[in-house]
Amino acid sequence: MKCRVCRESAVIDIRRHNANFCADHFLRYCRDQVERTMKEFSMATPGDRVLVAVSGGKDSLALWDILLELGYEADGLYIGLGIGDYSDVSGNYVRDFTSSFVANRESEHANSLIEIGLRDSYDYDVPTAADVTGRAPCSACGLSKRHLFDRAAHDGGYDVLMTGHNLDDEAAVLYGNVMRWQVDYLARQRPMLPAENGFPKKAKPLVRLSERETAAYCVLRGIDYQVEECPMAAGNRHLEYKHALAASEEASPGMKQAFYFGYLREAADLFEQSAVRTPDDGPGLVPCESCGSPTSGDPNGQPRCAFCRLSQRAAGADPVPVELLKTKRR
Ligand code: AMP
Ligand code: FES
Ligand code: ZN
Ligand code: ZN
């Protein structure tokens, strides 16, 4: 197996591109794919201030590293979700990466890490919120992350908030949205959403890389990352869709990329045009009375955002450890 570029021996094969690469040319391939995606979807230009949401997993750490390698001014944002050891270990990977790959880098900007702990700042955590609301943990988790990402990007004056969603993630979300014809979600499934109605611009620059590639990127760069799945992910539909797509990709390499990019090219505009605008994304938003974020209000018409409602409900409740929540839900 020889590198497509230099003919030295290759360390990885990428079947959907029918290409093999040596370590150096693979790292370059990853950066090129990100640079190309950022240009194609107008995600950022040099000089923009970028905030990267980093979870401690391979994708977001690879993304932060690639942005810095490409010369972007990029700070990290880690949210401590309070999911037992999983969150503690994830936070440590983020901090280790910051001290060994970010802080000592020669750069014009002092790139740094912002940390927000749900328990420290809002007096609740994801397992406790799931217990109090009786809903799936991912619901409280997603709501809290989205709100805190938006807030941090807005308060810090960043031009764009980036996340490490990769091709496998986006294809699986698209698959799920198509299987259930979630037309309102389809209308917003884009790798870049411009700043709108008080929400910051958001971008997913890894949509041309698979998770196997971001893992290989980290290994070759010597980046240690959280390899465990979230302990609350069991039964999550997203994983089910990923498995289904992985089987098709195995049989016909390139299928996932064709599915996702084909959607963006052929159908995304149609869904966007026909989307019914809901108060949540329309111009009828008002500032939340507690935190000032744009919101359509609560079911009683009060101007209070979903995050403030959740945190006010869960704050102060007796903490529920992950293990206990898992047994309760069985
Ligand atoms: P996930 O929803 O866990 O697949 O994560 C998708 C993306 O969201 C990651 O690639 C990160 O960019 C971001 N993310 C997930 N969890 C966190 C976290 N605890 N703190 C900051 N960013 C996160
Ligand atoms: Fe949903 Fe962790 S809370 S995967
Ligand atoms: Zn090579
Ligand atoms: Zn609020």
Between CA 58 and CA 55 the distance in angstroms is 9
Closest by CA to 167, choosing from 253, 81, 73, is 253
- pLDDT of res. 274: 82
Residue 308 · residue 324 · CB < 8 Å:
no
Residue 317 · residue 124 · CB < 8 Å:
yes
- pLDDT of res. 237: 83
- pLDDT of res. 327: 63
Q: What is the mean pLDDT of residues 178-204?
A: 95
DSSP state of 73: E
Between CA 57 and CA 5 the distance in angstroms is 29
**pLDDT tens digits, 282-306:** 557 899 999 999 998 888 888 999 9
Between CA 161 and CA 69 the distance in angstroms is 18
Enter the tokens of residue 88. Answer: 């503690």
Enter the tokens of residue 225. Answer: 């990352």
Q: Does residue 279 register a pLDDT over 50?
A: no
- Taking the centre of ligand 4 as the mean of its atom positions, its distance from the CA of residue 300, in whole angstroms, is 15
Residue 115, strand partner residues: 78
Compute the Cα dihedral for 114, 239, 228, 32 and give only its sign: negative
**pLDDT tens digits, 62-88:** 999 999 999 999 999 999 999 999 999
Q: Which ligand is nearest to the CA of 2?
A: 3
Residue type at 33 in one-letter notation: Q
Which residue among 128, 165, 230 has the greatest number of ligand 2 atoms within 8 angstroms of its CB, and so is best to mutate?
Answer: 230
Q: Which ligand is nearest to the CA of 285?
A: 4
Q: Work out the pLDDT band at 205, boundaries 50, 70, 90.
A: very high
Q: Work out the pLDDT band at 330, boundaries 50, 70, 90.
A: very low
- Taking the centre of ligand 1 as the mean of its atom positions, its distance from the CA of residue 90, in whole angstroms, is 11
Distances (CA, A) of 275 to 57, 173, 269, 280: 33, 18, 10, 13
Distances (CA, A) of 292 to 1, 286, 289, 297, 303: 57, 8, 6, 11, 9
Instruction: Locate the domains of the chain by residue range.
Output: 43-227+236-280+319-329
Which fold, 43-227+236-280+319-329? Rossmann fold (3.40.50)
Residue 245 · residue 175 · CB < 8 Å:
yes
- Taking the centre of ligand 2 as the mean of its atom positions, its distance from the CA of residue 126, in whole angstroms, is 9
- Supply the residue whose CA is at minimum distance from atom 9 of ligand 1: 164
Enter the tokens of residue 65. Answer: 């590293």
Residue 199, strand partner residues: 196
Which residue among 141, 143, 146, 240 has the greatest number of ligand 2 atoms within 8 angstroms of its CB, and so is best to mutate?
Answer: 141
- Taking the centre of ligand 1 as the mean of its atom positions, its distance from the CA of residue 77, in whole angstroms, is 10
Residue 79, strand partner residues: 116
User: What residue has token string 């986006």?
Assistant: 170
- pLDDT of res. 276: 63
Burial of 11 (0-12, 13-18, 19+ CB in 10 A): middle
DSSP state of 196: B
Q: Which ligand is nearest to the CA of 12?
A: 3
Taking a 5 Å cut-off on Cβ, the residues next to ion ligand 3 are: 3, 5-6, 22, 25
Closest by CA to 166, choosing from 201, 203, 211, is 211
Between CA 11 and CA 193 the distance in angstroms is 35
- Taking the centre of ligand 2 as the mean of its atom positions, its distance from the CA of residue 240, in whole angstroms, is 14
Query: What does DSSP say about strands 49-53 and 73-80: parallel, antiparallel, or unpaired?
Result: parallel
Q: Does residue 46 register a pLDDT over 90?
A: no
Which pTM was predicted? 0.95
CA 13, distance to chain mean position in Å, is 26
Which residues are near ligand 1 (CB < 6 Å)?
A: 53-55, 59-60, 77-79, 81, 145, 163-165, 169
- pLDDT of res. 280: 53
Between CA 197 and CA 279 the distance in angstroms is 11
- Supply the residue whose CA is at minimum distance from atom 3 of ligand 1: 55
162: Cβ contacts below 8 Å, ≥ 6 apart: 43, 44, 50, 51, 52, 53, 63, 67, 74, 202, 203, 204, 205
Residue 266: its H or E element: helix 255-266
Radius of gyration of the chain, Cα coordinates, nearest whole angstrom:
20
Q: Work out the pLDDT band at 236, boundaries 50, 70, 90.
A: confident
